[in-house]
């Protein structure tokens, strides 16, 4: 069995060493495919994580959502490796949180219930062609997704797609996987 930690290190190396011009091109293609999709167009609220520098930039997605009058919510990490999403209307409602990720300031935001999030964009390091993901290992999204009923989607470059990954019984695939070549499903 392939070691998850080695895979995480491989994925992080791949993302961190990607030339900036290549990264921008992948992000442009991901955004174009996403914004043209019915998955995006049909959603009135979008849940996503504020990206770290080596991840796919989510600010473009947030800006487009706000322009389209969609609600945007981002997670705040909670005790016991949980997450609570909050709607944001401005970047001023964010602060540096756990793992150097921008998180909502609860006093300035409205909580978002799971059923109010139409489209949840799920982060990951590697993905299978069937939508299973390898995350950072904290289990935050694994726990959140257990009773999430609406649409999930992940964004990835072609290089982040693996034939197989170690999958645990509690792992759940995303509903849609979008790469810089388009939707795999």
Establish whether 47 is an annotated binding residue: no
Establish whether 138 is an annotated binding residue: yes
Establish whether 4 is an annotated binding residue: yes
Establish whether 83 is an annotated binding residue: no
Establish whether 129 is an annotated binding residue: no
Establish whether 82 is an annotated binding residue: no
Establish whether 136 is an annotated binding residue: yes
Establish whether 163 is an annotated binding residue: no
3-state SS, one letter per residue, for the chain: CCCHHHHHHHHHHHHHCCCHHHHHHHHHHHHHHHHHCHHHHHCCEEECCCCCCCCCCCHHHHHHHHHCCCEEEEEEEEHHHEEEEEEECCHHHEEECHHHCEEECHHHCEEECHHHCCEEECCCCEEECCCCEECCCCCHHHHHHCCCCCEEEEEECHHHEECCCCCCCCCCCCCEEEECCEECC
- Contacts within 8 Å (CB) and 24+ apart, 1-5: 1/166, 2/164, 2/165, 2/166, 4/134, 4/137, 4/166, 5/137
Establish whether 8 is an annotated binding residue: yes
Establish whether 134 is an annotated binding residue: yes
Establish whether 89 is an annotated binding residue: no
Establish whether 144 is an annotated binding residue: no
Establish whether 50 is an annotated binding residue: yes
Known binding residues: 4-8, 50, 55, 133-141
Known binding residues for ATP: 4-8, 133-141
Known binding residues for substrate: 50, 55
């Amino acid at each position: 069995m392939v070691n998850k930690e080695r895979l995480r290190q491989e994925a992080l190396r791949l993302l961190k060493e990607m030339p900036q011009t290549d990264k921008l091109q992948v992000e442009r293609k991901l955004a174009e495919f996403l914004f043209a999709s019915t998955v995006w167009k049909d959603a009135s609220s979008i849940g996503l994580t504020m990206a770290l520098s080596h991840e796919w930039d989510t600010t473009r997605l947030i800006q487009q959502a706000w322009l389209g009058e969609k609600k945007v919510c981002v997670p705040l990490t909670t005790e016991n490796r949980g997450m609570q999403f909050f709607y944001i209307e401005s970047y001023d409602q964010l602060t540096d949180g756990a793992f150097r990720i921008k998180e909502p300031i609860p006093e300035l935001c409205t909580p978002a219930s799971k059923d109010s999030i139409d489209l949840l964009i799920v982060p990951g390091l590697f993905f299978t062609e069937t939508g299973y993901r390898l995350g950072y290992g904290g289990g935050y999204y694994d726990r959140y997704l257990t009773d999430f009923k609406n649409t999930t989607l992940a964004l990835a470059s072609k290089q982040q797609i693996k034939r197989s990954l170690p999958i645990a019984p509690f792992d759940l695939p995303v509903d849609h996987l979008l790469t810089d070549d388009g939707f795999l499903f």
